[in-house]
DNA sequence: ACTATATCCTGTATGC
DNA sequence: TGCATACAGGATATAG
């Protein structure tokens, strides 16, 4: 599932291929992925031709592709969104939803999305910082992140630490996979109250999250199947480096105890029952 | 103001 | 073999 490292892999692929290229045609093959474009699918398709891409940007899991005119194409991969760059005439990827053709002879841009939790929309004036992104907290790779303010914010929250990590208004970019990996590295149980953690513990947790996402980025991202791929359609290799996520009944790499899977927020949490003990009173 | 939960969506895997 | 169900989990609207 695309979280910060996977979205960054995609951003780099788009940044290498799109700047300076002018859109000629847009085909919306399914309306749902452009549902956040309030004026509708036909308006989306009509509004983009003639615009020229600048360098793709990212905050957390939100991507945006600025145009040279000051607007931006917003993109979120959701659960299963993919950007692909393929030669015109090359067969469309499965569940292809939107196709962008260009004025030059270079590759087409295709947006595919099986589950359609992701989407594309136009953000007027959004080239620098789209309004949709301004509401999201900075991520752990943002040079302007105020780490001390983040630690203070986390330690004020009356909620379990994993819920806080997943809250994109607190810190962006972390999803279920990297939350579980960061908690494993920091030896914390997901239900530990955030407001019972000391400053140093929170710093250690954030450093663990940053480290695991750095490792994942170096490996080209995490994927278990064809649902996450880069713009060339190939998968990352970090899936085989995970310590807790998806490893139910497999030994904890630290102590050997079998990893357990538990229901959490209508999904699953994975943890080591020995290294990550439940908080007192839970 | 803040936190918790239901919802959307479909291909794949599993169980009966 | 075929059908039904569980599961994956992003953001967001709504409820508490």
* A17: pLDDT strictly greater than 70: yes
Report residue A264: phi and psi, to 5°: -155, 115
End-to-end CA distance of chain A: 29
Residue A61 a catalytic site member: yes
Which candidate in A11, A61, A110, A162 is catalytic? A61
Give the whole-angstrom CA distance, residue A165 versus residue A183.
10
Residue A2 a catalytic site member: yes
Enumerate residues near strand C (beta carbon within 7 A): A 1, 3, 60-62, 76, 78-79, 115, 117, 132, 135, 166, 168, 172, 175-177, 245, 261, 266-268
Q: How far is the CA of A161 from the C1' of C15 (A)?
A: 22
Residue A156 a catalytic site member: no
Neighbours of A278 (CB within 10 A): 12
- pLDDT value at residue A265: 87
Query: pLDDT tens, A180-236?
Result: 999 999 999 999 999 999 999 999 999 999 999 999 998 876 665 555 667 776 666
Give the bases of strand B that a protein CB approaches within 7 Å: 2-12
Of the listed ranges A145-159, A214-228, A265-279, the least confidently predicted one is: A214-228
State the nearest residue by CA to the C1' of B4.
A265
Give the whole-angstrom CA distance, residue A93 versus residue A111.
9
- pLDDT value at residue A238: 66
Give the residue with greater pLDDT, A3 vs A225.
Answer: A3
Give the whole-angstrom CA distance, residue A145 versus residue A139.
7
Give start and end residues of each alpha helix (H) in A161-198.
161-166, 176-185
Report residue A78: phi and psi, to 5°: 55, -130
Q: How far is the CA of A114 from the C1' of C1 (A)?
A: 27
Yes or no: say if A278 and A189 are a contact pair by the CB < 8 Å rule. Answer: yes
Radius of gyration of chain A from its Cα atoms, rounded to whole angstroms: 20
| Average pLDDT, rounded, for chain A | 91
State the nearest residue by CA to the C1' of B8.
A117
What percent of chain A is predicted at pLDDT more than 90?
A: 80
Residues in chain A: 282
Query: pLDDT tens, A52-111?
Result: 999 999 999 999 999 999 999 999 999 889 999 999 999 999 889 999 999 999 999 999
Q: Is the dihedral of CA A211, A212, A214, A218 positive or negative?
A: positive
Give the bases of strand C that a protein CB approaches within 7 Å: 7-12
Give the whole-angstrom CA distance, residue A78 versus residue A123.
18
**Minimal CA–CA distance to A33: which of A109, A112, A119?**
A119
* A27: pLDDT strictly greater than 70: yes
When pLDDT is cut at 50, 70 and 90, the band that residue A1 belongs to is: confident
Burial (CB count within 10 angstroms: exposed 0-12, middle 13-18, buried 19+), residue A223: buried
Yes or no: say if A246 and A270 are a contact pair by the CB < 8 Å rule. Answer: yes
- pLDDT value at residue A270: 94
Does this model's pTM top 0.75? My answer is yes
- pLDDT value at residue A218: 87
Enumerate residues near strand B (beta carbon within 7 A): A 32, 79, 95, 114-117, 156-160, 163, 225, 265-266
């Amino acid at each position: 599932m695309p979280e910060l490292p996977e979205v960054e892999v995609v951003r780099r692929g788009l940044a290498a291929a799109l700047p300076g290229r002018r859109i000629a045609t847009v085909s919306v093959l399914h309306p749902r992925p452009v549902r956040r474009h309030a004026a509708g699918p036909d308006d989306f398709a009509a509004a983009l031709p003639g615009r020229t891409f600048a360098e793709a940007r990212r905050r957390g899991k939100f991507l945006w592709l600025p145009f040279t005119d000051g607007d931006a194409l917003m993109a979120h991969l959701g659960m299963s969104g993919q950007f692909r760059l393929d030669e015109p005439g090359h067969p469309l990827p499965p569940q292809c939803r939107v196709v962008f053709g260009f004025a030059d002879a270079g590759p087409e841009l295709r947006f595919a999305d099986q589950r359609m939790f992701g989407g594309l929309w136009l953000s007027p004036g959004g080239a620098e910082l789209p309004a949709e992104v301004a509401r999201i907290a900075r991520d752990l790779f943002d040079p302007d992140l105020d780490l001390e303010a983040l630690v203070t914010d986390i330690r004020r929250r009356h909620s379990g630490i994993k819920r806080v990590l997943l809250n994109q208004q607190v810190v962006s970019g972390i999803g279920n996979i990297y939350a579980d990996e960061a908690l494993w590295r920091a030896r914390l149980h997901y239900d530990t109250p955030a407001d019972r953690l000391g400053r140093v513990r929170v710093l250690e947790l954030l450093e663990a999250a940053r480290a695991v996402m750095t490792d994942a980025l170096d490996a080209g991202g995490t994927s278990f199947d064809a649902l996450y791929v880069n713009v060339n359609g190939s998968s990352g290799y970090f899936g085989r480096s995970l310590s807790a996520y998806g490893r139910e009944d497999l030994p904890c790499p630290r102590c050997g105890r079998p990893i357990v899977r538990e229901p959490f927020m209508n999904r699953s949490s994975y943890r080591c029952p020995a290294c990550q003990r439940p908080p007192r009173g839970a």
